[in-house]
Amino acid sequence: MMKDYKPVLGGAGATDYARYMRTDTLLSLQVSPREMRHRDELLFQIVHQSTELWLKLACNELRDAAVHLRQREMHNVLPLVGRSTLAVQLVTDQLEMLTHMTPWDFYLVRPALGNGSGFESPGWRAVNETGNELSAAFDHVIAADNIDLVRLYKEQRHSPLFSVSEALVGWDEKVALWRARHYKVAVRTIGINTVGTKGTPVDKLTLLLGHQFFPSLWRVRSTLFASSSNG
């Protein structure tokens, strides 16, 4: 007898794929050809919308990582931080798509954004919040367990806490690399002194490049080298 592959799930959509993935709703969330002022609105919106989705995952993983870290469950922290780091890497890679839009085309797209600005990105706001949560969890563990980071880095490279520390540095670095790439893409598109939709000159974005979520893990590197007798 032939197996029946008709949809079995509830919800809207012609197939189970459409029903579970909610593709009808998802694909209706971009500007329609009728509403478009410029064809590159689709490119611009998809880069932003997919960034929000990947960052939703990145932050979900980071929130749980913070809970596991406080419980000293390092084996659970590592894979979650790894996923979050990869998500940030993916949104950095997809910034490349914006280099396929010319400055003048973006000039024509920009009125469609109103006063909307990246400062209002829920995904990037959540990255800041969850990054700070994870940072607080890390500082708590270091203080409560009386950990000497210099000793950890010199003598305990096989410990789970060392692996977690390096994963946190990797995550922090990927966020900074997104900022650096975003800055370059913004300058490439609108020029160096141009003011963004929230009144911030593009160049002010460089002030954010040095932000660190885990300053003690960056500092310990300097401490190790300051104590080196090799000059």
Residues of this chain that interact with ligand HEM (CB under 6 A) are 47-48, 51, 98, 106, 117-119, 121, 124, 179, 182, 185-186, 189-190, 196-200, 202, 205, 208
CA neighbor of 59 nearest in space, from 148, 11, 127: 127
Cβ neighbourhood burial of 197 (10 Å; 0-12, 13-18, 19+): middle
Would you say 83 or 110 has its CB closer to ligand HEM?
A: 110
Map residue 127 onto helix, strand or coil: helix
Would you say 89 or 156 has its CB closer to ligand HEM?
A: 89
Would you say 50 or 60 has its CB closer to ligand HEM?
A: 50
Alpha carbon distance 79, 63 (integer Å): 13
Q: How far is CA 64 from CA 69, 71, 88, in A?
A: 9, 11, 17
Would you say 54 or 149 has its CB closer to ligand HEM?
A: 54
Q: Which two tokens stand for residue 131?
A: 């990054």
Q: Measured from the CB of residue 76, what is the shortest distance to ligand HEM in angstroms?
A: 28
Q: Measured from the CB of residue 129, what is the shortest distance to ligand HEM in angstroms?
A: 13
Name every residue whose Cβ is closer than 8 Å to that of residue 158 and which is 6 or more positions away in sequence.
none
Q: Measured from the CB of residue 56, what is the shortest distance to ligand HEM in angstroms?
A: 12
Nearest to ligand HEM by Cβ — which residue? Answer: 118
Would you say 76 or 94 has its CB closer to ligand HEM?
A: 94
Phi and psi torsions of 16, nearest 5°: -65, -35
Q: Measured from the CB of residue 9, what is the shortest distance to ligand HEM in angstroms?
A: 32
In one-letter notation, the amino acid at residue 170 is: G
Would you say 69 or 134 has its CB closer to ligand HEM?
A: 134
Q: Measured from the CB of residue 26, what is the shortest distance to ligand HEM in angstroms?
A: 18
In one-letter notation, the amino acid at residue 58 is: A
Q: Measured from the CB of residue 34, what is the shortest distance to ligand HEM in angstroms?
A: 24
CB atoms within 10 A of CB 91: 24
